Structure 1
């Protein structure tokens, strides 16, 4: 069996669980085109993700949340001789940007953030976004392409990133490629992100999650949230109506 065949049958990354704890080691998932390294950082147990293009070695960090030394150590231990080229901030809340200024200053990486959250990120960190992200944009890291999905409601400019893993999807809601979705605080196991019991914000967020995520992507889409364990769209899809009924 080739490495590619192993990935497509789900055997190459079976050791990855997505469960990490603050102070503990990262969990690592190796796919054909990209390696994903997940780390929990304190004090609020935020998840940070380093995505490495296996062709070029270039890296992307999702959420420089806290503990910059640990984040940079995570990046340095990624494979290849590439560099950290971009830090994507999923949203402007302070627990997701605590290490942003330090990481950008020490690496020279570009800072990318949802356009409506960019002023708040700059106010909190002093970092002016090199790139303001809009729904439908793409972000490149080496040869890897990530689609920007705006999921409004947790904050006005919250974004997710979608990576399509070629030729892997299966199941009744399958599409051509399995998707790996980095959702920040917009989608978790058990529901969407906090909208402070505001019915307008909740409806907007849930509508975006349904229209832009559940209606587009297959059940085997893997969800990497901003806190806690991972999930899949297949695990969450049966509960969407219940989320809407409860209002949070």
Structure 2
């Protein structure tokens, strides 16, 4: 049986090139009654740890290095003892928040993470940030898209280290090639599907330019 997915929404701020701005983040917990992965434990580590309960956190998987996604990863690591994984292309964003502490491990394109008999595959999708990475779980027909793809279009590319052309290429080549029925569990806001988003690629390109 594939691992269940749980979501907790936490509230805090995001800052890069100014701010802060108020944001609500989706925190994803994937696993069973014994062990889980936690994706992007934002803003409220105590509440996330309470939702995890007595289960073992095998790893903390970060989709990218923006501060709303990582600022409390260190505290959550202390609460759970779980290693933190981040694509090294976002290390400059991590270092801006944690100058004296490193992630525990790097994520590379194609890396796989297994929990409760379910595999998550890391797909590098730069654009929102250089190291942006999504986690595709074929058995769950789900991709955890971070801030690369939302319900309604691509993630923002108006701040440092972001690039619109790059995110469009990532979405086109890495995400819209997934099965249409794939659920897109996003870093903020409502979930969507690949099939719902793929017809709008040309609209996004026109809007972005």
Q: Structure 1 residues 143 and 122, CA, compared in 2 at 3 Å: closer, same or farther?
A: farther
TM-score under structure 2 normalisation? 0.88
Once the 2 structures are TM-superposed, how far is the Cα of residue 136 of structure 1 from its aligned partner?
Answer: 1.2
Cα offset, 1:143, TM superposition: 2.5
Q: How many Å apart are 1:142 and its aligned residue?
A: 4.1
1:48-86, Cα deviation, whole Å (9 max, x unpaired): 0111146xx21100001111111101111xxxx640110
Residues 197 and 247 of structure 1 are in contact (CA less than 8 Å); yes or no, is this contact kept in structure 2? no
8 Å Cα contact 1:59/1:141 also seen in 2: yes
Deviating beyond 4 angstroms after TM superposition, the runs of 4 or more aligned structure 1 residues are none
Q: 1:150 aligns to what? A: 124
Aligned-partner SS, 1:96: helix
Which runs of structure 2 are paired with 1:44-193 in the superposition (5 Å)? 44-53=23-32, 57-76=34-53, 82-125=55-98, 126-165=100-139, 179-193=141-155
SS of residue matched to 2:86: strand
Aligned equivalent of 2:190? 229
Aligned residues: CA RMSD: 1.9
Aligned residue number for residue 165 of structure 2: 203
Q: Which runs of 5+ in 2 are unaligned?
A: 13-22
Flag the structure with larger Rg: 1
For this pair of structures, how many residues does the alignment match? 197
Structure 1: runs of 5+ lacking an equivalent: 1-31, 166-177
How does the TM-score come out when normalised to structure 1? 0.75
State the SS of the aligned residue for 2:163.
Answer: helix
